[in-house]
Structures are given as C-alpha cells and as structure tokens.
Amino acid sequence: MVRILTAPDLIPLRRLGAVMSDTMHVSGAVQPRTPPQTQPERNPAGSAGHRPGPGVPQEFVHRPFIDDILVTSWHRRDESHFSLTAQWPHDHGYFTPVHGRHHLILTGETIRQAGLLLCHTELGVPVGHHFILGDLVYTTHPEHLAVGGGPTRLTIDVTCSRMRMRAGRLTSGHFDMTIRKAGRIVATGHSDVTVTSPAVYRRIRGDRLTARRSLAALPAAVPHHLTGSADDRDVLLSPTGRPDRWRLRIAPGHAAMVNPANDHIPGMLLLDAAQQAARVLTAPQEFVPYAFGTEFRRYAEHGVPCDIEARLVPSALPCTTTVQVTGIQDGRPVFASTLTALDDRRRAH
C-alpha cells in the first residue's frame, strides 16, 4: 500500500481544528444496531438508469441525494468486525469510468460511507454529530475494476480498532476495510475518525459555522480532457500561469461533491481536485492512479482562495509514477495527497 508521506508539522487529530469534517446537517438521533432499510425513492437530478438497490437512509452516510449512496446493507459479525454490501454505478453522471474502469474516487467514497454508516447504526453516534477525518488511504487492484453493463456489486469487510467509547458512543476509531467483487479483492484501505458533538463543533468552528460558498463568477477551467472530467463544469482547477499550481474552482450546484449545508469545502472534493491535478501535471502521459493516500490538516474554508500544487516524487515501486498534491490556503497546508499510477508500458500488460 502506498501511504501518504507524514509531515512533521501535522497537527494532532485531537486538536480538531486542522482536519476534514464530514457532516450532513440533520436533526434527530438514531439508535445503534438499526436493521438495514431500503430506499425506494430516486433522485430526479441523478444519472438516468442508476438506482441503488436495497440501501440506507441518506443521513446515515451523509449524502443528500439517493443516487450517490453506495453502501446498501450491513451486518455485525462481532464486536469489532462487520460485513457490508455496496454497489458502484456504471453510468453515474459525475464518477465517470476511466479507460473502462471505475473511477478511483468511488473507492474512497465507499470507505467514507461505510465508516459513517457503522458509526450511526452500530457504534452509537447520533445523527447530527460531526465526523473529523484524519486520513483516508487506499490501494485498488485495477484488473478487477472493469465496468460492466450494470452496477458492480461489492462486499466490504470492516475491522474496527483503537476505538474509544464514551457513554456508549464512539468518540474516535480506526477502520480497516477490504472491498471485494465476486470474491476477488478490489481494494483495501483505512480511515481514522474523531466524532464531536454539535456543541463542540460550534466551539471549533466559531464564526465559520455559518460560512457558505460564494456565488461569484467562476474562473476559467483547465481543459476537461486533461483532468479526466466529463466536461468543463466538473473541472475543479483553474490555471494560474504555473504548470504545477492551480486555483480551486467549484461550479455552483455541483451536487455530486458539494452539500450546500456544509460550512467548509468537503474533503471528497479536495481528493478529486488532487487526482485532477496529478493528471494535469503528468499530461500527456495517461496517469490513472491505483493508490491514493491523504492526510487532512485543517478545514478548507469557503471564501478563501485555495491553491492546489502538484509535484513528482520518487516512486517506491518500479514502472510507477507518484505525484504529491498539496492544498494551500493563507499560506498553510490544508491537505496532502500522494497518488501512484502504473506507467503506460506496465498498464498495457
């Protein structure tokens, strides 16, 4: 597994003000060990033809639209092991396949949703609490990522460790996951989370709690074919005049990656910006990463310019290319990602 390079100045997770929060603003609470549920509705704004089979409520995975829910069921095996099912769409309007294989970000989003679901349903975390993600690291097996004529059905084995509980509720933990398709490993990965109550989150965020995305005119986009995007609207990078630096741009109504209720820029959007930057930096080589590791260091704020910088770094494996991408606001790093791809000559075999 290719892991993110650890910076010596990484702020400890327990300080909370320097990592990515993943929250959907809803009210109410759920009881742990809720049985799997189904969602018969469709998202009218979603992609045509995609319908997530037996699923879970949006608030359990912090997704406002039905068509973006990937995890479909869960089952507790023992106190620290769980089995889940998921499916990846073959025709999603945003997570479009790359060279006939599922989009890399789907793996990260699946790990994110699986962890959130277990926290709410099995580990006592009420809906409305806030999740602060310290890192998200995963490696995929491209040979098992082929897109078929319908959704790809998956199983996920989850092992929870380093769990801290308070009054029957998870306050922090580590999730290791193995994702399989028809018994074959598609990806492995992990994430670390800390959970905070609404009151604590309000103290952390202060005046930023009411910040929302600006509706100012978008800057020009990098050509979408360089980023791997379906069209310019999905491009998250704007040129700066430097070949290794771009300004983050977010199209209004970008429903696939942005929840309008968020008081900060979502972490999954930053991951997508990182993979776009890696592709632009390495063009005209076809950079199709199979490994992705990210550390979140502080919140990415609305209304503050965010620069995305990318550079080539030495690869640990032969015939691979590795790119490190950093997001910067006010001169300070917001996140750091490391992406590794097979070189063209190796991918062809």
Q: For residue 221, what is the domain's CATH number?
A: 3.10.129.10
Distance CA 278, CA 244 (A): 9
In a domain, 4, yes or no: no
Residue 228 and residue 331 in one domain: yes
- Domain endpoint, select from 183, 204, 225: 204
Asked whether 235 and 229 are in contact (CB, 8 A), the reply is yes
Q: What angle do CA 176, 152, 96 make, to 5 degrees?
A: 95
**Are residue 81 and residue 182 in the same domain, yes or no?**
yes
Is the separation of the CB atoms in 131 and 119 below 8 Å?
yes
Cis bond upstream, residue 284 (ω within 30) = yes
**Amino acid of residue 199:** A
CA-to-CA distance for 121 and 57, rounded, in angstroms? Answer: 11
Q: Do 51 and 191 sit in the same domain of this protein?
A: yes
Prediction pTM value? 0.84
Residue 83 lies in a domain: yes
Angle subtended at Cα 49 by Cα 46 and Cα 185, rounded to the nearest 5 degrees:
95
CA–CA gap between residue 11 and residue 294 (Å, rounded): 14
Q: Are residues 135 and 226 in the same domain?
A: no
* Strands annotated E in 202-268: 237-239, 245-248
Answer whether residue 2 is part of any domain.
no
Contacts of residue 275, Cβ cutoff 8 Å, sequence gap at least 6 = 104, 105, 228, 289, 292, 337, 339
Which stretches in the chain have pLDDT values below 50?
A: 1-19, 21, 23-54
Q: Are residues 56 and 193 in the same domain?
A: yes
Q: What is the CA radius of gyration of the chain?
A: 19
Are 195 and 269 in the same domain?
Answer: no
Question: Do 329 and 219 share a structural domain?
Answer: yes
pLDDT at position 106: 94
How far is residue 57 CA from its own chain's centroid?
19
Tokens 């030495």 correspond to 314
Residue 6 lies in a domain: no
d(CA 114, CA 333) in angstroms, rounded, equals 27
181: in domain: yes
Structural domain span for residue 224: 211-347
The last residue of a domain, from among 184, 204, 224: 204
The answer to whether 110 and 179 are in contact (CB under 8 A) is yes
Q: Do 44 and 155 lie in a common domain? A: yes
Question: 153 and 37 in one domain?
Answer: yes
Q: What 3 state SS string does 50-67 have? A: CCCCCCCCHHHHCCCCHH
Statement to judge: residues 46 and 194 lie in one domain: yes
Map residue 310 onto helix, strand or coil. strand
Report if residue 215 sits inside a domain.
Answer: yes
| Predicted pLDDT at 253 | 62
**Position 155 in a domain:** yes
Q: How many domains does the chain have?
A: 2
Q: For residue 117, give the H/E element and its range.
A: helix 105-121
pLDDT attached to residue 4: 32
Write down which residue in 204, 220, 253 finishes a domain: 204
Same domain (yes/no): 82, 144: yes
Residue 254 pLDDT: 63
What is the model's pLDDT at position 13? 29
Return the SS3 of 139: strand
Angle subtended at Cα 210 by Cα 207 and Cα 215, rounded to the nearest 5 degrees: 120
Is residue 198 domain-shared with residue 234, that is, in the same domain?
Answer: no
Is residue 285 included in any domain, yes or no?
yes
Residue 83, sorted as left (phi over 0), alpha (psi -120 to 50) or beta, turns out to be beta
**100-138 confidence digits (pLDDT tens):** 899 999 999 999 999 999 999 999 999 999 999 999 999
Cα separation, 117 vs 55, in Å, equals 11
Task: State the DSSP code for 203.
Answer: H
Reduced to 3 states (helix: H, G, I; strand: E, B; else coil), residue 204 is helix
